[in-house]
A and B are shown apart, each in its own frame.
Chain A
Amino acid sequence: MKRLLFITCAALCGLLFFQGKPTEKPAPSPYLDAELPAEVKAVVDQKCYGCHNVNSKNEKGKAKLDWDALTKMKKAKRMAAMDEINEVLTEGEMPPKKFLENKPEGALTEAELATLLAWSSGKKKK
């Protein structure tokens, strides 16, 4: 009888790990390393890649932008995607407000935003 109780308790505790949102971050993309400047990659890994990757459970995020695919695109497609990233960031649409309500630490700092904007505008540093 005691044993049954113990097993039930253990099972319940085990269930806790299945609940809610996955806290584990996906492994950083191997492609990003080669293609993105280090400071950009650092921000992307931390603030964007969680939803925008090839295995993302966030279907909308994955459909809109997949960083793994982005770095493998040919140049014209990549420029188009970067222009869209630039626009979405300029208009403050990403990360989504809804997402930040639950995860305020996911917001971009001013410096991070500046890094992404400078990179996505495609302008070379002089």
Chain B
Amino acid sequence: MKRRILLGLALVFVIIQFIPVELPPPDPDRSGDLIGTGLANQEVAQLFKTSCYSCHSNETEYPWYSHVAPSSWLVARDVREGRDELNFSTWLKYDTTRMIRKLDDIASEVGEGNMPMPIYTLMHPSAKLTDEQRELIVAWTETAMDALVGEEEVEEN
């Protein structure tokens, strides 16, 4: 009886491997990246790279389990939704108002501890942010937002 259940599970596992899943492809183009703009200082840029860029940029590095169902489905969805919500690789495509909005969203998501997602830091412990690192990011967003407001006012005049 036990053997039959195990055999059944193994069979299901093999079958689900054939369900197509599309991992959003990495893209080496860095021309529109936030980190090239000088808005983020090196410390913040480094935090973003280690804690956010896997999902919120086109530089996704896919671990082995992202090629195996069912975890591949979860990874594909999270990366797709992550890029859709905020993509640091195409930062320059946002207009100034949208950049300010994204910074404000970063402040609340990171400040309130919603991001990085717990399931992500479970698999990537090095992506965990300490309270100090969170504060650093939130403080930076405020400076960066003010800088962008200043830029826009210059453009208007």
Contacts and interface: CB of A to CB of B under 8 A. Distances in A.
Contact of A124 (B97, B100, B156): B156
B146 interface: yes
Interface residues of B, number: 13
Question: Which of B101, B104, B105, B142 has the largest number of chain A CB atoms within 10 A?
Answer: B101
A82 B96 CA distance: 13
A125 to B, nearest CB: 12
Interface of B is mostly: helix
A65 B104 CA distance: 14
Given A80-B103, A80-B104, A124-B156, A75 B149 contact: yes
Contacts of B55: none
Interface in B114-157: 142, 145-146, 148-149, 156
A80 B156 contact: no
A83 B145 contact: no
Contacts of B145: 76-77, 80
